[in-house]
Every structure is written in C-alpha cells, then in structure tokens.
Structure 1
C-alpha cells in the first residue's frame, strides 16, 4: 500500500497563545491533521479548521503532570498514534513548543515547585512526548520530524533564569543525541532544536516587568520592546514553519533562525 501524498500530521504543544497559537492557525490547511496539547483549549482554532478543510484535535493537558502515569500525555499520545494506519500520512511532525518561565529570582530563593514545573514542562515533557512519538510512528512509512523550540538562553547564561536556561540547554543537547539515534535508523526522524528569536509574547512581558533587583537584565528586555526588536508571533511562526519545511531541516540539529543559511 502506498503512502498518501496529500495528508500530513502535526502535533503541537503550547498552542493556546503566542507563537504556538500562531503556528497552530497557520498549520490548519487542507489535508492537514493538527493535534494540539495545551492546558486550555485554544480559542478560534476550531472555526479556522472548519473553514480551511483541516482536521483539528485538541487535548487539554498539563504537561507538568506527564510524569504521573494516571495523567500521562505521552502515554495517551502513544496509544493515539498506535491506532493510526502507518500509511495514512505522508509526513508526521512533533513540535515541542511549550515552556515555562518560573518567577525570576536567584536559584537560592526559588521555590522548588516552580523549579520542578519549569523543568517538567520545558525538558521532561518534550523528551517523553518525543519518545512516545518516535515509538508510536516507528513503522510509519512517511517522513517524520521533531522540532524542539529552543531559545538563545539555552546557549547563553542569564542571572535569575537557572531553570529556564537549564531546560533549554537540556533540550538542545537531547536533540543532538536524538539526531545520532535517528541517523542510524531506516527512515529515521529528522530533528532540530531551533531558537526562534525574540518574540512579542507574554513571556517578554513577564521579563521586562520583573523586579530589576532580582533580575539584572530587566532593562535590556525593556529596550527590546522600546526599540521595536520583537517579532510578532504570526511572523515568528511563519519563519519557524518555513525552517521546518527546509529540505536540509535537521542539519545542523541545533540552529537559530537568526543565523544565515545558504
């Protein structure tokens, strides 16, 4: 049986706002099936999917609970993928976009629950979901991709950002390891951890409104807004999805949209 050439699956976390919501909207095209995972169901996507002739599936999940086997998004995803015929989609893509910035303060003052949530959402959940995705699509015949939304802060240290920086650094390195795993497999997945640049989202609002006494870089983030250096979420989503569509996606496995490519 041949693979359907016009049907594509996209699985996206953190689709309720910001760039994630913009990506979800832009992925709603004829022949696309889009599965979103977020704590609240994103508004407006159902009507957009109907108008576009796309299939939309929305799960309300808390990725911080993915370690709990009774509420495991990754186990649910694996089971959901197992029920899909291996030839149904020409491609399947997992986009790990969700992330959490805990209260901005030095590690010595941080609350343990905030630290655990940031690491679970930003690193543990992407690893568990990626494992479920790759296992659940192991025998699929279409192209498979994993796009991990990283950050420049995974590659540059910043005071009062230990958990977020550590999660993104871990995301980058787990992607490098994953690329080695998949390169050795028949029809292995193409994988990339991509920094999307600075985007005008709630995260930026959180950073520039922080207490400068606890967050020394607060003024620098304020200047990004003042100087018009923040990308609109819709524009950032287009750039990221264009990168996903590149024929050389995954080479290199850790990249930045601000780095010129040939």
Structure 2
C-alpha cells in the first residue's frame, strides 16, 4: 500500500544546531517539507538526513545578535519562495542563551546585551519579517516562540534570562491580539517546553552556588531523573504545534 505524501510545509527554525532545536530539525525533515535552519553553526548530520528523506534543507550560519541583518535576510528569502506550494508556513523562535549566572549588579554588560538580543530582540524582528513576507499567502501560518517557566517565575541571579523569556511571552500576547483582528491571521503561542537535559541545564547546575541560590534545585532535577531528553521534548513541542487548537492560548506550557 502506497503511503500518502506529506503535505508540503515550510518551517523556519532558529537555534537548530544543538539540543532541542537540533532534535526538532531532525523530526521536521519529512518528505516534501522545506526547513530553513538559522543557527551559529550548520549541521552535517541534518544535511545527510535531508538527502535521505527527500526534504529540502537550507542552513544559514547566522549570528542572531545581529537581528536586523537576520530579519532582512529572512524577508528576502521568503519573497523568493513559491507561496502557493505550501499548505503551512511556520516560524519557530527557539534560539536563546543564558548570560553569566549571578546577581545583576555583577553582570557583564556585553554578555547581558547579547543574551537579550538573541532571546528577545531577534525573535521580535524575525517574527515581524516573517509576518510581513507571508501576509498574502494562503497557507496556514503559525509562530511558535519557545519560552520557559522562568519567564513566569522570578529567580535570583537569572534576571537577564527571565526578562528575555517574560518579554517573549508578553510580545506573543500582543501579537495574538493583532493577528486575531486580521482575516487569515497567524496563530501564535509562547510555549514553555518543560525541563530538558541541554547545555543550559549544565550551566545552571554547574554554577557557583554562592552566586546562584537555586543551583542545588537544578542539580536535583538531573540526579532525580526529572529532565526530558532533547528528542522527547522536541516530540512534545511539535505535537503541540500540530494541535487543532494551537494558538487558542497565546502563552502555554507543554505540560498542561
């Protein structure tokens, strides 16, 4: 029995070179799909997988601290796509970084600025470019912003990361109100993916406990086996994205 072809979908994914982003990219490489990955580094593994699955993979080595350049490049690339070919077009803002862990008074200014640019400024600029470029498309359009429980719960020595994720949540709420007023507006959601065993978790549990009061809690998450693998988290996030009611809640948690 011949398997039905996958409907052609377009996905733009940031932070695809490692962790959950890399796992999501691998799962998105389905026959007939087009995936644009925007990361600091490209992946030979993804390139080989794309060849074997029949997916179209485009990889950009792009510094997301330069959000204006990234968004302009995205707008130009989308303008060159055959819009009528795709049944859906999705932007997943996954890239993020934790600035130096410690009290804000001890923050390194360039490090903090970089984290805010990657975690908040770039997603806003890329989303604006994506929505402008696709506003005439008939495809279902979605924006998924990967948030965090720390955007909704304050934590000492994490002001930069918490602020970026809280800003991500709130700009998504604003965006949902805007898109709801437009016929065929995009469906949007800021989604917390749960606690995942990634490089960020290594940073948190390896931090100096005298500078980070919650260090022991993050260490206990690992020792207690409470962390999801990147692949498991990616599966959950993409299943949430595929739900018929995606976007009904502009801010959500994959565990709800």
State TM-score, norm by structure 2.
0.97
**SS of alignment partner, residue 201 of structure 2:** helix
2:109 matches 1:112: yes
Deviating beyond 2 angstroms after TM superposition, the runs of 4 or more aligned structure 1 residues are none
Distance 2:9 2:18 in 1: 23
2:67 matches 1:66: yes
8 Å Cα contact 2:67/2:122 also seen in 1 = yes
Deviation per residue, 1:146-186 (Å, 9 max, x gap): 00000000000000000100000000000000001101111
8 Å Cα contact 2:64/2:118 also seen in 1 = yes
Distance 2:44 2:245 in 1: 34
Give, in angstroms, the shift of residue 65 of structure 1.
1.5
8 Å Cα contact 1:16/1:43 also seen in 2 = no
Give, in angstroms, the shift of residue 43 of structure 1.
3.4
8 Å Cα contact 1:12/1:35 also seen in 2 = yes
Distance 1:32 1:232 in 2: 25
8 Å Cα contact 1:7/1:88 also seen in 2 = yes
Distance 2:65 2:102 in 1: 21
**Aligned partner of 1:138 among 121, 135, 138:** 135
Task: Give the unaligned 5+ runs of structure 2.
Answer: 1-5
2:247 matches 1:246: no
2:169 alignment partner in structure 1? 172
Mapping for residues 109-258 of structure 1, pairs under 5 Å: 109-258=106-255
Distance 1:19 1:142 in 2: 26
Distance 1:121 1:94 in 2: 15
2:75 alignment partner in structure 1? 78
Distance 1:202 1:110 in 2: 20
Task: Give the unaligned 5+ runs of structure 1.
Answer: none
Distance 1:19 1:156 in 2: 22
**SS of alignment partner, residue 64 of structure 1:** coil
1:90 alignment partner in structure 2? 87
1:57 alignment partner in structure 2? 58
Distance 1:83 1:257 in 2: 34
1:8 alignment partner in structure 2? 9
Distance 2:50 2:30 in 1: 7
2:15 matches 1:18: no
Give, in angstroms, the shift of residue 84 of structure 1.
1.6
8 Å Cα contact 2:64/2:70 also seen in 1 = yes
RMSD of aligned alpha carbons:
1.1
1:44 alignment partner in structure 2? 45
Give, in angstroms, the shift of residue 66 of structure 1.
1.7
